[in-house]
Amino acid sequence: MDRAMRNSTASRAWRVCLVAGLITVLCLFASPSFAAIYSWLDRGGTRYYTNDPDEVPVEHRAANKLEVYTWTGVDGKRQYTLTKAEVPPRFRREAGITMLYKWVDEKKVVHYAFDLDDVPPRWRNMATKETGEALISAKVDTPTKEELASASARPQAGAAQKQPAVNPFVEALQRAKDRSGAPGPGAATGKPQPANPFVEALKRAKERRQQAAQETQGQEEQPQGSSNPFLDAIRRTRDQ
């Protein structure tokens, strides 16, 4: 019985070790370094192998299912590139480019981009997909990272400007002063104010009194005219 138990324990230990070994092997082959093996033949017939996709020549990337843009030029030679911007517009469809992003800026200038990430952030929500004639004729913008950063820092078109906070008490006081005719804050000092009719009436009465006093004073200072000669003769006779 003891022998049977020892055999059973040893059997379980072997199974555990076997499962652990299989898991280790699977983890090693599932790591990025063993994810894929790329191979190609050069013109001399030598085969090369690598697990780094960047080491695969551009003319062999398509055979290894790696991203590459290829087309047949006007001279009949096969062309290869890793960037969409280097593909001539007339060969974009042949190279596998099927769509552009279009947007219009605040100056009504139309722009195109290959990827949505190349569209300035402020225009991404308004960018439309173009698959027609523009795909093989439009000039595509390729902004730099600095241009994208500066574009995202600018305020978006149509965005409301932030207004300063208004004190409701000051606003009510301003309205009251406007109704009463008193100058409010920031009013021009030379601006004529509405005249008070009571004050104007007092001014006119004072002016009339001053005019009447001047006329009376002028009459008192007026010299007397020449006397009557007959009365003067009688007055002299009486005095004698």
Written as one string, the DSSP assignment of 107-175 is T--EEEESSGGGS-GGGGGG-EEE-SGGGGTPPPP---HHHHHHHHHSPPTTPPPPPPP--HHHHHHHH
What is the structure's pLDDT at 175? 75
**Rounded to an integer, what distance in angstroms lies between the CA atom of residue 177 and that of residue 184?**
6
* pLDDT tens across the length of the chain (240 residues): 555 555 566 666 667 667 667 776 565 555 454 568 899 988 888 999 898 888 899 888 988 888 889 999 888 899 999 888 889 988 999 988 988 999 899 899 999 998 888 889 988 898 999 888 888 888 887 655 555 555 555 554 444 445 556 666 667 767 777 766 555 444 445 555 566 776 777 788 888 888 888 877 766 555 555 556 777 777 777 776
Q: Is the dihedral of CA 36, 41, 45, 46 positive or negative?
A: negative
What is the structure's pLDDT at 237? 73
Q: Where are the beta strands (DSSP E) in the chain?
A: 38-41, 47-50, 69-72, 78-81, 100-104, 110-113, 128-130
What is the structure's pLDDT at 212? 81
Q: Is the dihedral of CA 162, 165, 168, 169 positive or negative?
A: negative
For residues 58 and 80, the answer to whether their CB atoms sit within 8 Å is yes
What is the structure's pLDDT at 145? 54
**Rounded to an integer, what distance in angstroms lies between the CA atom of residue 22 and that of residue 29?**
11
φ and ψ at 172, to 5 degrees?
-65, -40
What is the structure's pLDDT at 193? 57
